[in-house]
Structure 1
Amino acid sequence: MTPVDPVLVFDGDCAFCSSCVRFAERYLRQTLASGGWQAQPYQFADLAALGVSEERAEREVLWVTPVGQVYGGAAAVAKLLLRSGNAWAWLGGLLELAPARPVAELGYRWVSRNRHRMPGGTKACALPRR
């Protein structure tokens, strides 16, 4: 079954990730200009149907479009912000600009590696070792 709206795939076992998604659901949906989106923990998502591996889904947030394009990490956050419209879209557009992309990805990777130390994070939020 192909989703009608983009899907934000995240780590449902991570308290920090879940808090971020709740924030997005509360504040980003209120300003929707171009349609909806849905959030799914990767633990309950049909990853094969979405075209992503479990290994990738446990390492970064993913934005999967209805046509199967997959964006990960900072690019996924940028797509979510763009989809949300208004001032959020400006921030998403900024994250997609060539000079900002590497900085955004660096910031995303730092937060990802330290999410168990973030507000609301727990030891269960730590990324699995490679």
Structure 2
Amino acid sequence: MTESPAPNRWPDDDVILYDGVCVFCSRWVRFVAARDAKRRFRFTAIQSGYGTRLAQAFSINPEDPDTNAVIHGGVAYFKSDGALTVLSNLPEWEWVRALRLVPKPLRDAVYNLVARNRYRIFGKYGECFVPDEAMRARVLE
């Protein structure tokens, strides 16, 4: 599991940074929100003021993001580590912890392939995805 260095800690916890104009990324957020019974995770689009600051703190280009990020336990996780961290903290998805046995370079190669082609395969919104009323309280802007 890759942890960010100590200077890259973030004061808010259980925050998922995502590309708000990416259809796949927005569906990921809805998937997590629907299964997060404890309402543990909060979300921020990289295009929001808060999301841009978070991205810049972790050297993610807000204009061309190549990874999602999740802050969990005060530590930032990226790419496949980020996705597995989120999934493994959802009810009935704890089994994904076993996927950490797959070598990280292989997991991240698959992640990178999807990330590079996400707009072409899944599409892109003209503007940031707007969550419904029930989810809005969990969005940091």
Same fold per TM (> 0.5)?
yes
Pairwise CA distance, 1:122: 3.3
Extract unaligned runs of 5+ from structure 2.
1-9, 127-141
Pairwise CA distance, 1:65: 2.4
**Percent identity of equivalent pairs:** 24
Extract unaligned runs of 5+ from structure 1.
125-130
State whether structure 2 residue 79 is matched by structure 1 residue 76: no
User: Larger RCO: Structure 1 or Structure 2 (Cα < 8 Å, ≥ 6 residues apart)?
Assistant: 2
CA contact (8 A) 1:116 1:123 kept: no
CA distance in 1, matches of 2:119, 2:54: 29
Q: Secondary structure at the match of 2:17?
A: strand
Among 109, 112, 117, the residue aligned to 1:114: 117
CA distance in 2, matches of 1:52, 1:90: 28
Alpha carbons of structure 1 residues 111 and 36: separation in structure 2 relative to 1, 3 Å: same
Q: Secondary structure at the match of 1:114?
A: helix
Larger relative helix fraction: 1
Alpha carbons of structure 1 residues 36 and 123: separation in structure 2 relative to 1, 3 Å: closer
CA contact (8 A) 1:62 1:72 kept: yes
**Aligned-residue CA RMSD (Å):** 2.7
CA distance in 2, matches of 1:111, 1:2: 30
Task: Give CA-to-partner distance per residue, 1:50-70, whole Å, 9 cap, x none.
Answer: 732341781100011252x11
State whether structure 2 residue 45 is matched by structure 1 residue 37: no
Match of 1:2 in 2: 11
CA contact (8 A) 1:94 1:100 kept: no
Q: Secondary structure at the match of 1:59?
A: coil
Alpha carbons of structure 1 residues 117 and 123: separation in structure 2 relative to 1, 3 Å: farther
CA distance in 2, matches of 1:123, 1:41: 13
Pairwise CA distance, 1:47: 4.6
- What are the residue-to-residue correspondences of 1:46-85 with 2, within 5 Å? 46-48=51-53, 51-55=57-61, 58-67=65-74, 69-85=75-91
Task: Give CA-to-partner distance per residue, 1:17-54, whole Å, 9 cap, x none.
Answer: 1122112211x214x5xx71111111112554673234
